[in-house]
Amino acid sequence: MLIFSHPTGNAYTRQAALALWEAELLQEFWTAISWNPDSAAARVLPSKLQKQFARRTFAPQIREKTRPHPWREVGRLLAPALGLGSLTRHETGYLSVDAVFRSLDRKVAARLRHLPQLRGVYCGEDGALETFRSAQKLGLRRYYDLPIAYWEVGGQLLSQEAQRWPEWEPTLVGTRDSPAKLARKVEELSLANIVFVPSQFVRDSLPAAIMEGKTCCVAEFGTPEMSPLDTSLHERDSDVNRPLRLLFAGSLTQRKGLADLFEAMRLLGRGDVELVVMGAPVAPLEFYQRQLSFRYEPPRSQADVFRLMQQCDVFILPSIVEGRALVQQEAMACGLPLIVTPNAGGEDLIEEGRTGFLVPIRSPHSLAEKISWFADNRQELPEMRQAAHNKAVKYTWQSYGQKIVAAISHDLESSP
């Protein structure tokens, strides 16, 4: 039996918790907010807060196993609206993301000695150190979730981006981690027995010296369940006079390669290509609009994201550092072929010329070349849409969970 700990409620956390419960491996699940949409609070909170908290909804089956510790995370979510944004300052703020992670980590670490039947712990990056230290003393197995490239590789890449595009440096939050936080990351990885990663790119980023004697398991994220591709949504394909519509979706930062995409569009200089940018700005919107003329779309619900995707032709994500951008699979499931870099973590999604194209990082010229190919070969889009959809739906959350359960079960069986 395991304790699974993760402060946030992202898609892969929910699926991992459910898979561990189904395999009867989950003794307790610790998180910050576990939202029950049927609770009294769900009915009285303002709709905006309900939508925000709804992202922290877990499967009903695991509610009796869940140990929520919500107050610091609730404070973090509410602080900006209350004019208390300084409390969420990176690393140092009482309500910062780091403070939320460390607080839950300490609580889980203190819990371990009270569970004599426990065999192991499963924790995410930045929230594992104290738990792993306690687990090691108690002889428990330690499983580590690393959703993005190891900090050493990621930091080097982003530092280089700050020099390539100095005006974009304020968008590179990942370059601001303190030495103390980086040291925590090193020790977390060092204490782990198995490291779970979502892509080959993340696996390749792990330092060989630390990984010696450890197991690394690649468990690719699943694609949201989609109905068969609705070809009527793409009747636009027959209108050869409309612009090719490219979609970028993600935070508006150079970690996602947005500066390179803007430069590619400038190099392209084609009036028959339209760029749609959807995501949360990390700088004033005017900063981006000074760089390039594009259609901006703010963040929205997943259902509305899918509707926007179905109005576009090609998904483009020239990321510098990722783990595995799930949005790639979502776009493919909606019938969009891809133009992406290997560092977006979905190299296995690309069948060249069939589901899209892989381009090198930091190459606006390569981006412009592939965008031009799509604009000049519009007749290929219907077949590529179907191929992209078919490829994406092969990746299931059931398979993701099965890989995690299989690796942990084998480790527990072979450990004394």
**pLDDT on residue 59:** 86
Q: Look at 242 and 144; give whichever has higher pLDDT.
A: 144
Cβ(319)–Cβ(362) under 8 Å?
A: no
* Whole-prediction pTM: 0.91
Confidence of residue 373 (pLDDT cuts 50, 70, 90): very high
**DSSP one-letter string for 254-286:** GGGTHHHHHHHHHHH--TTEEEEEES-BSS-HH
Confidence of residue 129 (pLDDT cuts 50, 70, 90): very high
What letter would DSSP give residue 144? E
Confidence of residue 319 (pLDDT cuts 50, 70, 90): very high
**DSSP one-letter string for 218-250:** E-PPPPPP-PSP-GGGGGGGG-TTSPEEEEEES
How far apart (Å, rounded) are the C-alpha atoms in residues 142 and 124?
A: 11
Ordered by where they begin, the domains of the chain are 2-222+397-414 (3.40.50.2000), 231-392 (3.40.50.2000)
**pLDDT on residue 8:** 87
Nearest CA-CA partner of 7 in 105, 84, 82: 105
Q: What is the pLDDT of residues 290-301, one digit of tens each?
A: 999 999 999 988
CB atoms within 10 A of CB 338: 26
Rounded average pLDDT over 359-383: 96
How far apart (Å, rounded) are the C-alpha atoms in residues 7 and 312?
A: 34
SS3 55: coil
Q: What is the pLDDT of residues 185-207, one digit of tens each?
A: 999 999 999 999 999 999 999 99
Cβ(9)–Cβ(57) under 8 Å?
A: yes
Say how far residue 403 (Cα) sits from the centre of its chain. 18
**DSSP one-letter string for 70-118:** -HHHHHHHHTGGGT-GGGG-TTTSTTSHHHHHHHHHHHHHHHGGG-TT-
The tokens for 360 are 């090198």
SS3 23: coil
Residue 236, pLDDT > 60, answer no
On the CB side of 299, CA atoms within 13 Å amount to 10
Q: What is the pLDDT of residues 90-108, one digit of tens each?
A: 888 989 999 999 999 999 9
